[in-house]
Amino acid sequence: MKVLVLYGGDSPEREVSLASGKAVLEAASRCGFDVLDGCVETVKDVVRLMNERDCDVIFIALHGSWGEDGRLQAFLDFYDIPYTGSGSEACMLAMNKVLSKYRFQRDGIPTPDGVEANLFQEGINGACKKILEYYDYFLNGGKMVIKPARCGSTLGVSVITSSSDVYEAVQLASSYDSLIIAERYISGKEITVAVWDDDKPQAFPVIEIVPKNSLYSYKAKYTPGNSAYFVPAQLEDSIAKKAQEAALMAHISLGCGLYSRVDMRLDTQGNPYVLEVNTVPGLTSTSLVPKAAKAIGWDFDRFVKELIQNTLNKKL
């Protein structure tokens, strides 16, 4: 059985994707699959690979941009090629934090309130004015998160405590995306829940993340030793269950398939707030989904094998 692993890409998350792709290549090979190396940089590279190599399934390990926002998935759907993960619409909704927030609010899923700004329409000064008005009226000097709406790995994210910090934070976010989202900062714990969905979605154990610094930044995520992880999280059973239920609701709300990772903040009263859903979560040595899978007895090889086999089973 031939498995083409697509990884690399040209998004700001390329380095993470390279690590994920190499880990998947090695695991799939150990599981006995005929593995094809699909390190790509552009969409043209994907088209070239499709013409050059026959495969039974594609393992998507591309993070960000066209590899995760539904465009690649729509292309593969058109050619009727099975691939791991969610479909094109779910990927599009999950990648755009503005759209996913609207879905969460529609479906009664707790998520931080906020406001979005489109730099193409409003310009940076108009965006800053809009965000400042929201900050002054609703938050009254509290903490606020400003981030690009269509980027992952905590790139371009700022946590501000003063209106004087807004312009710099918007500038940073705008270096990654023209669509900016500002939302209330939820004081409490950083948690995440992986969802496994082979027709009946189930939540893996909750993971609590404790970064050395207050922000779970890119460096904190991908530099070994910069964050501590508790799997399962040290939470009361009722609070852990509430977080798992929120993760399942978010996964279903966006129409995700096979697997996802739902990132949340847990406030000081133990209430979960969904921040985002990742349809192509990281699969590196420090990544969260493999940690959650290990907590239910699946090592990394088993997890990769289950992804591939379930993708093929759904195609049959």
Residues with a catalytic annotation lie at: 13, 153, 287
Confirm whether residue 263 is marked as ligand binding.
yes
d(C-alpha 136, C-alpha 154), whole Å:
25
Does an H or E element contain 33, and which?
none
**Backbone angles phi and psi of 140, in degrees to 5:** 50, 50
d(C-alpha 159, C-alpha 156), whole Å:
10
Confirm whether residue 276 is marked as ligand binding.
yes
Cβ atoms < 10 Å from Cβ of 312 = 15
d(C-alpha 236, C-alpha 17), whole Å:
35
Q: What is the DSSP string of 107-121?
A: TT-----EEEEEHHH
**Type of residue numbered 18:** L
d(C-alpha 314, C-alpha 106), whole Å:
29
**Type of residue numbered 130:** K
Q: Are 67 and 150 in contact (CB under 8 A)?
A: no
Q: Which residues are annotated as a binding site for Mg(2+)?
A: 263, 276, 278
